[in-house]
């Protein structure tokens, strides 16, 4: 790999960063410093390979990439859609697979079918708006929440929610169900638009190596 300039990665702090690094290791990219789980450091360097990694909160990853302080980012498709930053999405890492769905109590099905003016609670107001306004052409009231969104229909704040469903356990335990599926989700690699041109060979090689490993894992 060319080493005259650092290639900088913004990773999503937590389990996704761990999984991403496991994948990176399989294509020969490693960062020893990051293996110490007790460290509170946020920036790590692999001098030999000319790589820099930093750990950010998911919604900030596309921001760092759009502004070019990171060439590459890895975060969830949900975050990428919600943030709507100008970045290139280049690879599906197929990690953290889940779905973005409209969920609620069974009786809310009818409200959706009849395009009623309903209240929708979500941590993802942009995704909810795009879905209802642009895909379904249904006018709704969107209420932004910051977590435990399932509470919305239970306590009567909203009719439905737009949220991530992985196992479906949270919905089930709270007497809710999937009413409509918006899209599948998983971790994606995003690239800064200028880096894509300036570091094209390096990035293309990385994407192609990773794709091979991901495909092997999937099959």
Residue 194: CB atoms within 10 Å: 10
CB of 174 vs ligand PRP, minimal distance in Å: 9
- What SS3 state is found at 207? helix
Per-residue string for binding with ligand PRP, 90-129, x by CB under 6 A?
A: ---------------------------------x------
165, 99 Cβ separation under 8 angstroms: yes
Q: Is residue 39 close enough to count as binding ligand PRP by CB under 6 A?
A: no
CB of 92 to ligand PRP, least distance (A): 20
Among residues 165 and 206, whose Cβ is nearest to ligand PRP? 165
Could you tell me the smallest distance in angstroms from the CB atom of residue 173 to ligand PRP? 8
Is 162 in contact with 184 (CB distance < 8 Å)?
A: no
CB of 101 to ligand PRP, least distance (A): 9
User: What number of chain residues touch ligand PRP (CB under 6 A)?
Assistant: 13
Contacts of residue 72, defined as CB under 8 A and 6 or more positions apart, other chains included, come to: 7, 8, 9, 10, 65, 189, 190, 191, 192, 195, 203, 206
Q: How far is the CB of 208 from ligand PRP (least distance, A)?
A: 32
Closer to ligand PRP by Cβ: residue 11 or 191:
11
State the binding string over 140-179 for ligand PRP (x if CB under 6 A, else -).
-------xxxx------------xxxxxxxx---------
Q: Report the alpha-carbon distance of residue 36 to residue 38 in Å, rounded.
A: 6
Exposure string over 65-104, b if 16+ CB within 10 A, otherwise e? bbeeebbbbbbbbbbbbbbebebeebbebebbebbbbbbb
Binding site for ligand PRP (CB under 6 A): 123, 147-150, 163-170
């Amino acid at each position: 790999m060319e080493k005259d300039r650092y290639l900088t990665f913004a990773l999503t702090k937590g389990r996704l960063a761990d999984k991403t690094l496991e994948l990176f290791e399989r294509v020969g990219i490693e960062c020893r410093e990051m293996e110490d789980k007790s460290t509170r450091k946020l920036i790590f360097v692999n001098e030999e390979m000319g790589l820099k990694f930093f750990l950010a909160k998911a919604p900030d990853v596309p921001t760092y990439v759009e502004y070019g302080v990171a060439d590459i980012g890895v975060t969830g498709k949900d975050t990428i859609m919600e943030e709507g930053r100008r970045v290139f999405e280049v690879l599906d890492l197929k990690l953290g697979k889940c779905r973005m769905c409209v969920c609620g109590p069974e009786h809310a099905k009818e409200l959706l079918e009849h395009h009623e003016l309903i209240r929708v609670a979500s941590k993802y107001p942009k995704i909810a708006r795009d879905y209802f306004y642009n895909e379904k052409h249904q006018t709704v009231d969107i209420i932004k929440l910051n977590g435990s969104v399932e509470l919305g229909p239970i306590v009567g704040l909203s009719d439905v929610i737009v949220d991530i469903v992985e196992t479906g356990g949270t919905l089930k335990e709270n007497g809710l169900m999937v009413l409509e599926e918006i899209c599948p989700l998983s971790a994606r690699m995003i690239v800064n638009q200028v880096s894509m041109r300036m570091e094209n060979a390096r990035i293309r090689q990385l994407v192609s190596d990773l794709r091979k490993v991901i495909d092997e894992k999937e099959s």
